[in-house]
């Protein structure tokens, strides 16, 4: 966990005061909406269907219990008692009043939470693996580097008015839980032969209207050069990204139009001209950031404590443990995922009461730390295995122990037309119905790992392109229709899904998904061949036949 | 449109010369890049101060050879949301060592003053009178800066290092 | 449901109104005939030609302090004269989300 020092806090506070002044000038008319809009976006404030929406940053998905309680407070005091965790490890509040925003921001600033650059044409939250720092086999904690980049990109005078938004993601594990291949800059931390830390740099990934998988621009950038290299990329993008058409302004379009070799050369040319660099990261710099990261004082604990042995006879506990508990790099500990996908519930939402309860449980069982994943679930990253049975009971009581993590009912969905002014169709009710159709835990387990992603429009905030099953809401003659894709994935083998046929109406979507699942069950080579592998083996055709036979 | 320099509203010492007008032999002027490039040697050699306004969608490379002879370079923000001039400014100051006046023009609004100063601008053709009047107060908004630019302000990192050294020195 | 904020050419195909969000709190509002705004759809000014729509929109957009993001939206006029939202998006703005809120209002 990173602890903000005086300087970090000062920046946040100064930003709050600036925004307070900007809101005042907006409400008095001194600033027009045209002048104000980009300023409010730079503080995470959108205008949506019913109200403003407020997006708060959770840097690399790490929260302290104190911070989670502050989010609960904002939900209660300034909103309607709940918040929504997003696919970029942020949290959104849907009913916020512009006039009260400076106060909400001031309350959050007290615990080191901000909303800087969570929207706007600037550099957004640097996301990472929600298991960073605790995953077995991780090379080193990527969050140190995430924090370095966060500071470097915050209120950067040269890059605050880019052609379009810019997103970073970092992974330090072989299995990429941060989806780096669909980010503007994706960083894969690894070591060279001299055992020095560096990054494979990928550029030009992104979803939205025109999805692209990122391409490697440099296989190894030494850690010392990370910031100067990133500056070179941002400078090339700032100068040459398109400004005439917002649908062609992302860096993925520039990379695509120039080609990766030419783009790499532009960056290299720029980088080589950056002599010395005040941006060189030496060991002192890394130590400085690392010194403000704290790690738990783990105890020496048994991997198979008595409490766990005793609880094994409880089939419900076992079902949850097998589904939601993952191995930890420290023996005797575990990573616990808290499902925010209850049957019939809107995916990724948590009430203020739940947030407070989770904060208390984090204090008791996870050294006061919580994580937010881009799958819109939470995690407690430092749980002693002996505490699993008692923790489970407590989680179950507050409704965050549905044993469906990574299963068919663990759906990722954007807010959709119920909330969002960009949407063509609703996504939440589709997700809710699907959780009802697949509510039976045995069935869901038997189906196995299956990621469904739902987006209410082509902006793809639900990441439908990289869903094993992707669902995209479109509009046809004033009615809601949905295009279905299969075969997408977001990890180190990232690829975009394939359309299986013409869009289907709202009422048919759940039936279609059931048909796809049935086809999979009939076609899979073995029970442990997961859905995405069956699609890879057989292609889309057998699924298309099944779904459209009677449609 | 008020010109702000040194934190105050001042009279513009440069006369903006239209493209189709004759260049005065003496006096301080600001000309467009197009006019300048027609005969840069002649323009740069004239008596009196010369400034050039450079568009934000053109590389500064063609301007660089003349920097030492220019009194002012004006860069453009067609809308405040178009941030290309920030890169141009930093390159002029930090890579090419430009020491003359660097002027922000276009839609120059209060809430970008700090960014502009940090990027190397030291003169501002401010769109609104009220913003120009608020300049001095606005630039005090921030006292901590994370990243280095050529503006000489200590970054947070440096301040932390200094603190560390003084702490360990004091032990 | 394709974002009407992307409307470029103004042409209406039936009775319409102008709607926006109130600047200070984001609440849904409708342009009235009295050059004001109301949160009550019943008080919305109805336009029936593209010219009228354009005029109403221009006047609404000019109220930059009071309202944000004004646009033209269809309505349905019942036989009783009651004004109803004219498409799904406006239904949702009028009535609220179509799902149960995690915390009952």
Question: Residue for token digits 């697949």?
Answer: A438
CA gap B39, B17 in Å, rounded: 15
A-chain CB neighbours of B95 within 8 Å are 273
Query: What was the pLDDT predicted at B156?
Result: 93
Tokens of A478: 């004033």
Residue closest to C77 by CA, chosen among C3, C17, C2: C17
- Alpha-carbon distance A17 to nearest alpha carbon in chain B (angstroms): 8
Inter-chain CB proximity C68 and A29 less than 8 Å: no
Does A24 lie at the interface with C, CB-CB under 8 angstroms? no
- Which residues neighbour A282 within 8 Å (Cβ) at sequence distance 6 or greater? A224
Specify if A137 maps to a domain. Answer: no
**Euclidean distance between the first and the last CA atom of chain B, given in angstroms as a whole number:** 56
Provide the percentage of residues in chain B whose pLDDT is more than 70.
Answer: 99
* Tokens of residue A217, six digits: 């621009």
Answer whether residue A266 is part of any domain. Answer: yes
Measured in degrees and rounded to the nearest 5, phi and psi for residue A47 equal: -100, 125
Cα separation, B137 vs A462, in Å, equals 43
Burial-class residue A177 by CB neighbours within 10 Å (0-12, 13-18, 19+): buried
Task: List the beta strands (DSSP E) in A74-151.
Answer: 82-85, 91-96, 127-128
Q: How far is CA A500 from the centre of its chain?
A: 26
Q: By C-alpha distance, which of A148, A175, A292, A293 is closest to A230?
A: A148
Same domain, A463 and A375: no
Which chain C residue has the Cα nearest residue A52?
Answer: C26
A chain contacts of residue C27, beta-carbon cutoff 8 Å: 50-51
> How many domains is chain A partitioned into structurally?
4
The per-residue pLDDT for A503 is: 97
Domain ranges (residues) in chain C: 14-95
Distance between CA A45 and CA C69 in Å, rounded?
A: 14
Q: Which two tokens stand for residue A407?
A: 């299963």
In this complex, does chain C touch chain B, defined as having at least 3 beta-carbon pairs under 8 Å apart? no
Q: A454: which chain C residues are within 8 Å (Cβ-Cβ)? A: none
Helices (H), A45-175: 65-78, 101-109, 143-153
The closest CB to that of B84, out of A30, A239, A273, belongs to A239
Instruction: Decide if C102 and A33 are in contact by the 8 Å CB cutoff.
Output: no
CB-nearest to A157 from B81, B144, B149 is B149
pLDDT at residue B168 greater than cutoff 80: no
Please identify, among A370, A397, A424, the residue that sits at the C-terminal boundary of a domain: A397
Res. C16 pLDDT band, cuts 50 70 90 = very high
Q: Is A503 on the interface with C (CB under 8 A)?
A: no
Q: Which of A33, A81, A417 is opposite residue C89, by nearest beta carbon? A: A417
Give the pLDDT band of residue B163 (cuts 50, 70, 90): confident
Give B136's Cβ-side CA count (13 Å radius). Answer: 5
Is pLDDT of C2 > 60?
no
Q: Are A416 and A541 part of one and the same domain?
A: yes
Residues of chain A with C-beta less than 8 angstroms from the C-beta of B102: none
Looking at the fold, whether A428 and A356 belong to one and the same domain comes out as: no
The Cα–Cα gap between A299 and A132 comes to 19
**Could you report the per-residue pLDDT of A180-234, keeping only the tens digit for each?**
999 999 999 999 999 999 999 999 999 999 999 999 999 999 999 999 999 999 9
Nearest to A169 by CA among A490, A390, A493: A490
The answer to whether A126 and A62 are in contact (CB under 8 A) is no
Answer yes or no: do A350 and C102 touch at CB < 8 A.
Answer: yes
Q: What is the extent of the structural domain holding A210?
A: 142-290
Blockwise average pLDDT, block size 10, chain A, 551 residues: 94 98 97 96 96 96 97 98 96 97 98 97 95 96 97 97 97 95 97 97 95 96 96 98 96 96 97 85 91 95 96 97 98 98 97 98 98 96 98 98 98 97 97 98 97 97 97 96 97 95 97 97 96 98 92 80
CA of A149 vs chain B CAs: smallest distance (Å):
10
Kindly determine whether residue B156 and residue A151, on different chains, have CB atoms separated by under 8 Å: yes
Same domain? For A416 and A392 the reply is: no
Query: Is B141 within 8 Å of chain A by CB?
Result: yes
Give the CATH class of B3-140: alpha beta
- Both A388 and A446 in one domain: the answer is no
| pLDDT in the model for residue B151 | 87
End-of-domain residue from the set A290, A318, A337: A290
How far is A252 from chain C, CA to nearest CA, in Å?
23
Of the candidates B130, B145, B146, which has its C-beta nearest A30's C-beta? B130
C22 touches chain A (CB under 8 A): no
Decide: helix, strand or coil at residue B54.
Answer: strand
- For C74, which residue in chain A has the nearest alpha carbon? A478
Mean pLDDT of C24-34: 97
C104 pLDDT above the threshold of 80: no
Separation CA B73–CA A266 (nearest Å)? 25
Confidence of residue B152 (pLDDT cuts 50, 70, 90): confident
CB contacts, 8 Å: C103 with chain A: 80-82, 351-352
Model pTM?
A: 0.95
Residue A322 and residue A262 share a domain: no
Nearest-angstrom CA–CA distance, B34 and B37: 5
Averaged over C42-66, what is the pLDDT? 96
Give me the pLDDT at residue C4, please: 59
pLDDT at B167: 81
Q: What is the CATH number of the domain that holds A490?
A: 3.30.413.10
B111 and chain A in contact, CB less than 8 A: yes
DSSP state of B58: S
Do A311 and A259 lie in a common domain? no
Going by pLDDT thresholds of 50, 70 and 90, the confidence category of residue B128 is very high
pLDDT for C7 beyond 60: no
Are A360 and A485 part of one and the same domain?
A: no
Number of residue pairs across A and B with CB atoms under 8 Å? 88
pLDDT at A551: 80
């Amino acid at each position: 966990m990173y602890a903000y020092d005086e300087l970090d806090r000062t920046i946040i506070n100064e930003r709050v005061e600036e925004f307070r002044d900007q809101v005042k000038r907006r409400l008095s008319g001194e600033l027009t909406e045209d002048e104000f809009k980009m300023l409010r976006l730079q503080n995470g404030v959108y205008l949506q269907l019913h109200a403003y929406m407020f997006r708060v940053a959770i840097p690399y998905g790490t929260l302290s219990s104190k911070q989670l309680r502050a989010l609960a407070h904002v939900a209660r005091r300034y909103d309607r008692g709940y918040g929504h965790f997003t696919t970029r490890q942020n949290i959104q509040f849907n009913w916020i009043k512009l006039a009260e925003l400076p106060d909400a921001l001031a309350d959050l600033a007290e615990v080191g939470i901000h909303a800087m650059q969570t929207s706007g044409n600037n550099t957004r939250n640097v996301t990472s693996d929600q298991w960073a720092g605790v995953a077995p086999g991780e090379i080193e904690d990527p969050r140190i580097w995430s924090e370095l980049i966060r500071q470097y990109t915050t209120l950067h005078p040269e890059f605050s008015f880019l052609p379009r938004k810019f997103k970073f993601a970092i992974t330090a594990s072989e299995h990429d839980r941060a989806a780096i291949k669909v980010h503007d800059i994706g960083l894969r931390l690894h070591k060279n032969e001299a055992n020095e830390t560096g990054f494979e740099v990928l550029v030009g990934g992104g979803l939205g209207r025109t999805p692209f998988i990122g391409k490697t621009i440099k296989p190894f950038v030494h850690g010392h050069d990370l910031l100067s290299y990133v500056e070179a990329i941002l400078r090339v993008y700032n100068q040459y990204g398109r400004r005439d058409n917002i649908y062609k302004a992302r860096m993925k379009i520039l990379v695509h139009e120039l080609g990766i070799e030419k783009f790499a050369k532009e960056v290299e040319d720029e980088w080589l001209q950056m002599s010395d660099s005040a941006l060189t990261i030496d060991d002192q710099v890394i130590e400085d950031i690392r010194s403000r990261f704290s790690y738990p004082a783990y105890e020496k604990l048994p991997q198979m404590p008595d409490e766990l042995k005793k609880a094994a006879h409880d089939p419900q506990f076992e079902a949850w443990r097998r589904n939601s508990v993952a191995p930890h790099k420290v023996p005797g500990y575990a990573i616990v995922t808290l499902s925010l996908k209850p049957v019939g519930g809107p995916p990724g939402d948590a009430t203020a009461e739940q947030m407070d309860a989770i904060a208390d449980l984090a204090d008791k069982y996870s050294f006061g730390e919580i994580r937010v994943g881009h799958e819109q679930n939470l995690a407690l990253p430092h749980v002693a295995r002996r505490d699993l049975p008692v923790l489970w009971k407590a989680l179950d009581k507050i409704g965050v122990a549905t044993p469906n993590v990574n299963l068919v009912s663990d759906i990722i969905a954007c807010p959709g037309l119920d909330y969002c002014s960009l949407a063509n169709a609703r996504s939440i009710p589709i997700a809710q119905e699907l959780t009802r159709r697949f509510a039976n835990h045995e069935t869901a387990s038997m189906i196995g790992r299956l990621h469904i992603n739902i987006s209410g429009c082509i902006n793809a905030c639900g990441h439908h392109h990289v869903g094993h099953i992707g669902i995209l809401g479109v509009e046809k003659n004033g009615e809601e229709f949905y295009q279905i894709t299969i075969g997408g994935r977001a990890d180190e083998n990232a690829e975009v899904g394939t359309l299986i046929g013409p869009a289907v109406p709202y009422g048919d979507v759940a039936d279609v998904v059931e048909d796809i699942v049935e086809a999979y069950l009939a076609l899979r080579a073995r029970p442990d061949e997961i859905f995405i592998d069956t699609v890879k083996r057989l292609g889309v055709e057998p699924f298309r036949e099944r779904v459209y036979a009677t449609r | 449109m008020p010109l702000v320099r040194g934190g105050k509203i001042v009279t513009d010492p440069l006369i903006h010369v239209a493209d189709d007008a004759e260049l005065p032999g003496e006096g301080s002027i600001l000309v467009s890049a197009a006019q300048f490039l027609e005969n840069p040697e002649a323009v740069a050699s004239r008596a009196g101060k010369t400034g050039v306004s450079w568009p934000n969608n053109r590389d500064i490379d063609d301007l660089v050879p003349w920097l030492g002879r220019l009194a002012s370079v004006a860069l453009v923000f067609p809308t405040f949301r178009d941030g290309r001039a920030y890169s141009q400014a930093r390159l002029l100051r930090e890579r090419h060592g430009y020491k003359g006046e660097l002027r922000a023009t276009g839609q120059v609004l209060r809430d970008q003053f700090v960014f502009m100063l940090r990027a190397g601008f030291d003169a501002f053709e401010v769109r609104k009178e009220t913003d120009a009047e608020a300049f001095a107060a606005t630039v005090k908004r921030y006292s901590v800066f994370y990243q280095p630019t050529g503006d000489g302000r200590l970054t947070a990192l440096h301040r932390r290092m200094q603190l560390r050294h003084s702490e360990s020195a004091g032990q | 449901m394709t974002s009407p904020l992307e409307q470029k050419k103004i042409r209406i195909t039936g009775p319409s109104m102008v709607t926006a969000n109130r600047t200070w709190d984001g609440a849904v509002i409708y342009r009235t005939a009295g050059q004001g705004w109301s949160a009550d759809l019943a008080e919305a000014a109805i336009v029936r030609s593209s010219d009228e729509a354009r005029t109403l929109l221009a006047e609404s957009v000019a109220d930059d302090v009071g309202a944000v993001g004004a646009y033209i939206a269809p309505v349905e006029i019942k036989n009783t004269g009651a004004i109803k939202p004219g498409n799904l998006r406006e239904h949702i703005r009028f009535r609220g989300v179509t799902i149960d809120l995690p915390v009952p209002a």
